[in-house]
Amino acid sequence: RKDPELALDFYREEGYPSASVIEYLITLLNSNFEDWRIANPNEDIKKFPFSAKKMSVSGSLFDMDKFNDVSKNVIARMSAEDVLKLVTDWAEEFDEELFKLLSSGKDYALKIFAIGRGGKKPRKDFAKFSEVKGYINFFYDEIFDNKFEFPQNIDRNLCKEVLNKYISCYEKQPDMNSWFEHLCKVGEELGFASSTKAYKENPEAYKGSPGDVSQIIRAAVTGRLNSPDLYSVMDIMGEEKVKERI
């Protein structure tokens, strides 16, 4: 068939978990499934009261965007252990480089997949396992592209000033609050506001907000402006690698 989405090999090669395919198909087959899932976010899909009466007589159209959205939700509900196993199994067949990285440091990889998992609003970073390498590449020097995107609203010389100041007094913090307090202190010494509230009350008095300082450091450590929780990222990477990046 001409449409790749219609071939079963497509889902396997792209790395869609079977649970995502099943969930999306039931979404298509029973109109009340989505409401049931909202009310039962962590329930086993086998407990859904499937009914032939709820099936559309006109059939359903396959929506790839909707399928990807469903798959992100399915993966977000999985444990870090399950995601690591599924990704590693997929990579063994389709991405040798990723397979070697995950297999050689399972504890390290498990911490990566655990970021933002669980709770009421788990992260939904990828819909298929072929997207994982791009999501985690900054954790591994072997696949990090060494490209860095810095905030456009901050002068490059000021970015350098922040990084030089931060690296001069950087040390791994015991918790997120301590980490953020240290970050704010570094920024305050360079003319940034000591808090977001202070910045909002009088933005003209400062070079930027604590969020701007955080974004500068995020860009240096991860190469991007959008990443998982920065404290967790730096905690996992460790002091030596963080300093090397900055």
Which stretch of 46-60, 120-134, 184-198 has the lowest confidence by average pLDDT? 46-60
Confidence of residue 3 (pLDDT cuts 50, 70, 90): low
3-state class of 55 per DSSP?
coil
**Pairwise CA distance, residues 38 & 23, whole Å:** 13
Judged against a pLDDT cut of 80, whether residue 138 lies above it is answered with yes
Residue 201 has φ and ψ, to the nearest 5°, of: -70, -30
Count Cβ atoms below 10 Å from residue 93 Cβ, excluding itself.
11
Q: Mind listing the pLDDT tens digit for each residue in 142-151?
A: 999 988 999 9
**% of residues, the chain, pLDDT over 90:** 80
Q: Are 68 and 24 in contact (CB under 8 A)?
A: no
Judged against a pLDDT cut of 90, whether residue 185 lies above it is answered with yes
Does the model's pTM come out above 0.85? Answer: yes
Which residues make Cβ contacts (< 8 Å) with residue 26, sequence separation at least 6? 33, 45, 48, 50
Element holding 60 (H helix, E strand): none
3-state class of 149 per DSSP?
coil
**Pairwise CA distance, residues 162 & 119, whole Å:** 33
Say which amino acid occupies 60: S
Provide Rg for the chain, Cα atoms: 22
Calculate ∠ Cα 73-78-83, nearest 5°: 110
Phi-psi region of 116 (alpha: psi -120 to 50; beta: other; left: phi over 0): left
Q: Mind listing the pLDDT tens digit for each residue in 8-36?
A: 788 999 999 999 999 999 999 998 999 99
How much is the pLDDT for 1? 43
